[in-house]
Amino acid sequence: MDDSLLLMLNFSFLEPNDHKIKKTVENISKNLVTDGLVYRYRSQDDFGIPEDGFLPCNFWLADALFLTGEKR
């Protein structure tokens, strides 16, 4: 899972009320958020396993939550 999936809303690939994007937002919120920081992904890459959140992802998630009508 990659947090950049949230950008589907910004580029109008899916409507904010589509159940697929709502489940994506829910899964990202559950799996990629730790201590208030949003990780772009958790899998190992050329640099190893990510140890810190990726700041733009916090904004992508906040935007997705707003667009889908989630209130937290």
Average pLDDT rounded to a whole number, residues 64-70? 94
Domain containing residue 11: 3-57
Angle formed by the axes of helices 55-67 and 19-31, to 10°? 140
Q: What is the pLDDT of residues 1-58, one digit of tens each?
A: 999 999 999 999 999 999 999 999 999 999 999 999 999 999 888 888 888 899 999 9
DSSP character at residue 52: S
Domain assignment of residue 49, yes or no: yes
- In the chain, DSSP finds a helix count (H) and a strand count (E) of 3, 2
Is-above-0.75 flag for pTM? yes
Residue 71: pLDDT above 90? no
Q: Per the structure, how many domains does the chain have? A: 1
Q: What average pLDDT score do residues 47-70 get? A: 93
Measure Cα distances from 16 to 6, 46, 51, 53, 71 in Å: 11, 33, 31, 25, 14
Region at 62 (left for phi over 0; alpha for psi -120 to 50; beta for the rest): alpha
Residue 47 counted as domain residue: yes
In-domain check, residue 71? no
